[in-house]
Every structure is written in C-alpha cells, then in structure tokens.
C-alpha cells in the first residue's frame, strides 16, 4: 500500500512561543519504492518520520496508508499503537537492540508483540535474518556484532510481519561510507521485494544512489521533489 502524507504540520510548544518543526508537507511514497529524506540538522526530518510512524500526532494533516487514515491529530493512542504494530516497521537512529537477546530472539520478541502465532515466528525470523545476510550470526548477542550488523538486525526486526510502511532514521550516521551505502541498498531492495513504502532519513546524499527518489526538507518545508524513477 502507498504511504500518503497529506498536508502535515507539526508545531511544538517552545516556552511561551511555538516552533513549527514540519510545515504543510505533502508526500506520497508508492508501495515498493524508497524515498530518501535529506536536509540540514534541525530541518524537521526526524519529526516528519515520527509523524509518519504514528509516534507523534500531527498538529494538522493526516497520514494515510492506502486509503485509510492511519494517524491524524485526533487519532486515539490505542488505535495509533495498533496501526503502528500491524502496518509500520521503524528503524531508529541507534539500533536499540536488547543486550540479553540473540539476533534471532530480537526478531522473535518483536513478532510476538505484533501478535504473530508462535509456530510461525521462528521460520519468519530466520528467513529475515537470511535476507539481510546474517544467517550465520543469528545466535550472536548485540555485543558480538559490528555496528553495521546491528543495524541489519534492526532492519530485519522492523520487517517482521511484513509491514506496509518501513521508516528508517539515519542508517548511515554511525557507519562509514561504504557500509552506509550498503544499508541504503539493503533497505531499497527489501522495500522493493516486499512491496513496502520506505522512507530513509539521511544527512549524507552520497550514500543514496540506490533510492527511487530524494526529497529535501529545509525549515520544515519540502524544497525539492525529484521525479520518481521507476524501479
């Protein structure tokens, strides 16, 4: 299903004033494609991603997944949480893995949270770790993995249950150029293969050669929207 951001505005309280972090942004990300969101520090990238993933309510505007409104200014918390668990996979800037669990167990726990039947969980988790190139490291703990490998565990975990939307915050910030490029390529490939609408937030345009489209956000507003190149 396509992801639609319809006229999203997000205003934070800022002392006696307000700060408009996202200013009337509209964007459609077709299913199976990846859009990179570029922009300077403080431009609103993470804020927009948080709204797209239902982590922060927009002040105005709606997030739609397919035809249905997923997250709007008045969406109840419980409904937003359910939609997020069922339809959205999120990879945070730091992989946020649990130190005591193996790579496989990180995915299994997430699958349980998403309400998957236990009998199907191990097979799906094992297959996903294979898809991100970690089949041989499934039983390692985070401390026994490199930064890039941990990021790949987090990407596999976000894809448990085949969400319609995949949101990835700054996958390249902790990685060198080559590994960062590989992570972006991985996200682009998985989104295409699984028909997910993916958004990657990044500072580093030089890692984004594989994405379908790059958009730039400055002071909370979308500046450019390059044509979508069919994959």
Query: Phi then psi for 49, rounded to 5 degrees?
Result: -65, -40
Q: Judged by CB under 6 A, which of 4, 45, 179, 216 binds ligand ATP?
A: 45
Task: Give the separation between CA 138 and CA 24, rounded to whole angstroms.
Answer: 43
In angstroms, the CA 115 to CA 122 distance is 13
- E strands, 15-91, in order: 17-29, 34-38, 60-65, 68-71, 88-91
In the structure encoding, which two tokens stand for residue 155, read together?
């990407």
**How many residues sit in the footprint of ligand ATP (CB under 6 A)?**
12
Structure tokens at 174: 């902790």
Looking at the Cβ atoms of 62 and 170, the one nearer to ligand ATP is 170
| CA separation for the pair 34, 48 (Å, rounded) | 16
Report if residue 171 touches ligand ATP, rule: CB under 6 A: no
| 3 state SS of 64 | strand
Stretch that binds ligand ATP, among 44-52, 67-75, 105-113, 174-182 (CB under 6 A): 44-52
53 binds ligand ATP (CB under 6 A): no
Q: How far is the CB of 224 from ligand ATP (least distance, A)?
A: 16
Per CB under 6 A, 148 contacts ligand ATP: no
* CB 207, min distance to ligand ATP, A: 15
Taking the complex as a whole, the smallest distance from the CB of residue 37 to ligand ATP amounts, in Å, to 9
Cβ neighbours around 19 below 10 Å, total: 14
DSSP class of residue 180 equals H
Query: What is the three-class DSSP state of 200?
Result: strand
CB of 85: closest distance to ligand ATP in angstroms?
23
Q: Which residues are 197's β-sheet partners? A: 165
Note whether 50 and 93 are within 8 A (CB): no
By CB under 6 A, name the one of 42, 73, 195, 209 that touches ligand ATP.
Answer: 42
Out of 16, 17, 41, 143, name the contact with ligand ATP by CB under 6 A: 41
Q: Interaction with ligand ATP in 3-32: which residues (CB under 6 A)?
A: 12, 14, 19, 21
What is the nearest approach in angstroms of ligand ATP to the Cβ of residue 44?
4
Q: Residue numbers of the site for ligand ATP (CB under 6 A)? A: 12, 14, 19, 21, 39, 41-47
């Amino acid at each position: 299903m396509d992801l639609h951001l319809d006229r999203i505005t997000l205003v934070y309280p800022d002392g006696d004033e307000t700060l408009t972090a996202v200013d009337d942004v509209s964007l459609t990300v077709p299913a199976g494609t990846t859009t990179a969101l570029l922009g300077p520090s403080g431009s609103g990238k993470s804020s927009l991603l948080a709204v797209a993933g239902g982590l922060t309510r927009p002040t105005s505007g709606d997030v739609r997944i397919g035809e249905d409104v997923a997250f709007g200014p008045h969406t109840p918390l419980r409904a937003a949480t359910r939609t997020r668990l069922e339809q959205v996979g999120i990879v945070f800037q730091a992989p946020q893995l649990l130190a005591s669990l193996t790579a496989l167990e990180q995915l299994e726990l997430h699958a349980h949270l998403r309400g998957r039947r236990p009998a199907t969980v191990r097979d799906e988790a094992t297959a996903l770790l294979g898809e991100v190139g970690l089949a041989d490291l499934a039983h390692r703990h985070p401390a026994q993995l490199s930064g890039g490998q941990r990021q790949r565990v987090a990407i596999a975990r976000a894809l448990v249950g085949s969400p319609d939307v995949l949101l990835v915050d700054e996958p390249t910030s902790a990685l060198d150029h080559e590994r960062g490029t590989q992570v972006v390529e991985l996200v682009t490939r998985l989104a295409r293969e699984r028909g997910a609408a993916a958004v990657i937030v990044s500072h580093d345009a030089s890692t984004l050669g594989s994405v379908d489209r790059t958009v730039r956000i400055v002071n909370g507003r979308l500046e450019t929207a390059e044509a979508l190149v069919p994959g």
